[in-house]
C-alpha cells in the first residue's frame, strides 16, 4: 500500500487534475491513498476571506465569488454540466454561506479552521469525481473523522492512539474496493469541529496515514524535480539530492525549507517508511528519496531563505541581567500565542528572537511582552540559513547586505538581514 500526496500546484487547473489521474492510473492495481491539498492558491484566498469576515470588511462577497468562480471554471473544463459533482460542490460552498450569514462570534483561529478547511473539501470532491469519470475506482473519504486532534486551532495536536485506531479499523477495508481520495491539512476534534494541522500540512497528513497503516512508501508530488539545495527561483546552479537522510530532511524543514512540512519526517522515520519527492510533470523521473541513509558529503551548501521575519529584542525594565526566569516567561508567552521561534540569541542584558510575522499573533504577543520588558523590533527582514556552509559562502551571500544578527554552529549558519 502506498500514499500519494498532491499539493495545490499540482491541481491548480484542469490540466493538473487530468495529470493527477494519469499518474494514479499507473498504480490502479495497487492499494493507494491519495491525499490532496486545496487547488492552486485557494488556501491564500480563503485566508483573506477569513480575515475579511472576522473584521467585517466590505470585500467579503468579492473574495468569496472569486474562489467560487475559480473552482467552477475548472469544473466546466473537466465535466459535462449535468455531472452530479456540480451539486456536490455547490453544497460544499453552502457551508461557507451559512458562516458568512452571521456576524463572527468565535476566535479568529477557530473561524480560520472552519473556513479555510473548505478548500480541501472542494479539491478532493473534484478530484474524486474526475477519477471516477476516468474509469478509476475511487472513494471520497472525510479525513476529519480519522485524524483526531485537540482544540489547538490552526495547529491541531494529533491524538496518535485514537487516530491510528480508527484508521486501522476502517481504511484497509475501503482499499479493497479501490483507491481512497482524502484531504490533507485537516483534522477533527471530539466536538466535531474542524482543525488544521499547520500551514502546508498536507504532507503531514500523508505521513500520519502511512505510519498508522505501515505503508510501503509516501510520495509527495511537487513542481520541482526533487529536493534541491536552494530555491531555484532565488538561486542559479541549484543541485538536486538523489537521496537524503531523515535527519538532514528534518533539519532542512525545521529551518524553513518549504518543500516538505516540518512534522512530516519523524513519523516516517519511526516506522522506517521512505518519503519520495517527485515532479508531477515528469512522474518517471527519480526525484529524491528520504530514508535512513549513511552520512553524506555536501559539495554545495543547503540554502534556506525565509522572508517576512521579525527581529525582536527584549530587555528587563530594571536593567537587570536576563535570567532563566526571564527566558521561561518569554518562552511561555511565545507558546501561548503560537509563535514559533526561528533564532534565539542571549546576551547579559537582552534577548533577541527572530520569528515569522503573522499579524493576528504578533500584536497580542507584543502587548504582553511590553507589560514586563523593554521591547524593540524590526520588521520586513530575511532569515538566511546555510547548512554545511563554508566561510566564503557566507561572505558571498551577505555582501552588500546589512546583517542584524548572526549565529554560527558547526554545521549551520543563520543570519538575519534587512530584506534581500
Residue 394: CATH number of its domain: 3.30.2130.10
Judge if 221 and 361 occupy the same domain.
Answer: no
**Helices assigned H by DSSP within 272-321:** none
Q: Which pLDDT belongs to residue 52?
A: 97
Judge if 147 and 199 occupy the same domain.
Answer: yes
User: What CATH number should be reported for the domain holding residue 168?
Assistant: 3.40.1160.10
Residue 30 located in a structural domain: yes
Residue 380 located in a structural domain: yes
DSSP state, 311?
A: E
Judge if 100 and 23 occupy the same domain.
Answer: yes
Strand partners, 346: 351
Residue 113 located in a structural domain: yes
Judge if 307 and 212 occupy the same domain.
Answer: no
Question: What pTM was estimated for this model as a whole?
Answer: 0.94
- Mark which of 256, 271, 291 sits at the end of a domain: 291
Judge if 359 and 277 occupy the same domain.
Answer: no
Residue 8 located in a structural domain: yes
Do residues 263 and 198 lie in contact, with contact meaning Cβ atoms separated by under 8 Å? yes
Judge if 370 and 281 occupy the same domain.
Answer: no
Give per-10-residue mean pLDDT for the chain (420 aa): 97 98 93 98 97 97 98 98 97 97 95 98 98 97 98 96 98 96 97 93 96 98 94 92 94 91 94 97 96 81 96 92 90 94 94 94 96 96 96 92 95 90
Q: Which pLDDT belongs to residue 322?
A: 87
Judge if 216 and 80 occupy the same domain.
Answer: yes
Residue 252 located in a structural domain: yes
Judge if 150 and 269 occupy the same domain.
Answer: yes
Judge if 313 and 350 occupy the same domain.
Answer: yes
- Measured distance CA(58)–CA(88) in Å, rounded: 28
DSSP state, 143?
A: G
Residue 127 located in a structural domain: yes
Residue 297 located in a structural domain: no
And the C-alpha cell for 58? Answer: 466590505
- Mark which of 291, 324, 344 sits at the end of a domain: 291
- Measured distance CA(146)–CA(183) in Å, rounded: 11
- Measured distance CA(78)–CA(73) in Å, rounded: 9
Judge if 141 and 197 occupy the same domain.
Answer: yes
- Measured distance CA(373)–CA(417) in Å, rounded: 24
**Distance spanning both ends of the chain, measured CA to CA:** 44
- Mark which of 261, 291, 321 sits at the end of a domain: 291
Residue 348 located in a structural domain: yes
- Measured distance CA(117)–CA(111) in Å, rounded: 10
Q: Residue 107: in which H helix or E strand, if any?
A: none
Query: β-strand 288-291 against 243-245: which pairing, if any?
Result: parallel
- Measured distance CA(209)–CA(194) in Å, rounded: 18
Do residues 237 and 296 lie in contact, with contact meaning Cβ atoms separated by under 8 Å? no
Do residues 407 and 414 lie in contact, with contact meaning Cβ atoms separated by under 8 Å? yes
Judge if 335 and 404 occupy the same domain.
Answer: yes
And the C-alpha cell for 212? Answer: 498508522
Give the contacts of 63 (CB within 8 A, at least 6 positions apart).
Answer: 45, 48, 49, 52
Structural domain boundaries, residue 348: 302-418
Q: Which pLDDT belongs to residue 26?
A: 94
Judge if 284 and 306 occupy the same domain.
Answer: no
- Number of domains within the chain: 2
Amino acid at each position: 500500500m502506498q500514499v500519494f500526496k498532491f499539493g495545490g500546484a499540482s491541481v491548480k487547473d484542469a490540466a493538473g487534475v487530468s495529470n493527477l489521474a494519469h499518474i494514479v492510473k499507473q498504480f490502479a492495481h495497487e492499494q493507494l491513498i491519495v491525499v490532496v491539498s486545496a487547488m492552486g492558491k485557494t488556501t491564500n484566498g480563503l485566508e483573506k476571506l477569513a480575515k475579511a469576515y472576522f473584521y467585517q470588511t466590505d470585500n467579503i462577497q468579492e473574495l468569496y465569488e472569486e474562489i467560487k468562480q475559480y473552482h467552477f471554471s475548472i469544473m466546466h473544463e473537466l465535466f459535462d454540466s449535468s455531472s452530479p459533482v456540480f451539486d456536490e460542490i455547490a453544497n460544499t460552498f453552502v457551508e461557507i454561506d451559512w458562516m458568512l450569514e452571521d456576524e463572527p462570534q468565535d476566535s479568529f483561529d477557530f473561524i480560520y479552521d472552519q473556513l479555510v478547511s473548505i478548500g480541501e473539501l472542494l479539491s478532493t470532491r473534484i478530484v474524486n469525481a474526475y477519477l471516477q469519470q476516468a474509469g478509476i475506482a475511487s472513494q471520497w473519504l472525510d479525513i476529519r473523522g480519522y485524524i483526531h486532534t485537540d482544540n489547538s486551532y490552526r495547529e491541531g495536536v494529533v491524538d496518535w492512539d485514537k487516530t491510528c485506531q480508527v484508521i486501522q479499523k476502517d481504511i484497509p477495508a475501503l482499499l479493497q474496493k479501490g483507491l481512497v481520495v482524502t484531504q490533507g491539512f485537516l483534522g477533527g476534534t471530539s466536538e466535531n469541529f474542524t482543525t488544521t494541522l499547520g500551514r502546508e500540512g498536507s504532507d503531514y497528513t500523508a505521513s500520519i496515514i502511512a505510519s498508522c497503516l505501515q505503508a510501503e512508501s509516501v510520495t509527495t508530488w511537487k513542481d520541482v524535480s526533487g529536493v534541491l539545495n536552494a530555491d531555484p527561483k532565488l538561486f542559479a546552479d541549484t543541485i538536486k539530492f538523489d537521496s537524503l537522510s531523515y535527519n538532514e530532511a528534518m533539519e532542512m524543514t525545521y529551518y524553513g525549507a518549504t518543500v516538505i512540512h516540518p512534522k512530516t519526517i519523524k513519523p516516517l522515520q519511526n516506522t522506517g517508511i521512505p518519503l519520495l519527492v517527485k515532479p508531477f510533470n515528469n512522474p518517471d523521473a527519480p526525484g529524491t528519496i528520504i530514508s535512513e541513509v549513511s552520512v553524506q558529503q555536501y559539495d554545495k551548501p543547503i540554502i534556506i531563505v525565509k522572508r517576512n521575519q521579525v527581529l525582536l529584542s527584549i530587555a528587563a525594565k530594571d536593567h537587570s541581567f536576563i535570567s532563566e526566569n526571564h527566558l521561561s516567561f518569554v518562552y511561555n508567552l511565545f507558546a501561548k500565542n503560537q509563535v514559533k521561534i526561528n533564532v534565539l540569541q542571549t546576551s547579559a542584558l537582552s534577548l533577541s528572537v527572530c520569528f515569522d510575522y503573522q499579524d493576528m499573533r504578533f500584536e497580542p504577543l507584543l502587548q504582553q511582552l511590553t507589560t514586563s520588558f523593554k521591547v524593540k523590533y524590526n520588521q520586513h527582514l530575511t532569515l538566511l540559513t546555510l547548512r554545511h556552509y563554508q566561510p566564503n559562502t557566507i561572505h558571498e551571500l551577505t555582501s552588500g547586505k546589512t546583517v542584524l544578527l548572526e549565529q554560527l554552529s558547526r554545521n549551520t549558519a543563520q543570519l538575519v538581514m534587512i530584506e534581500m
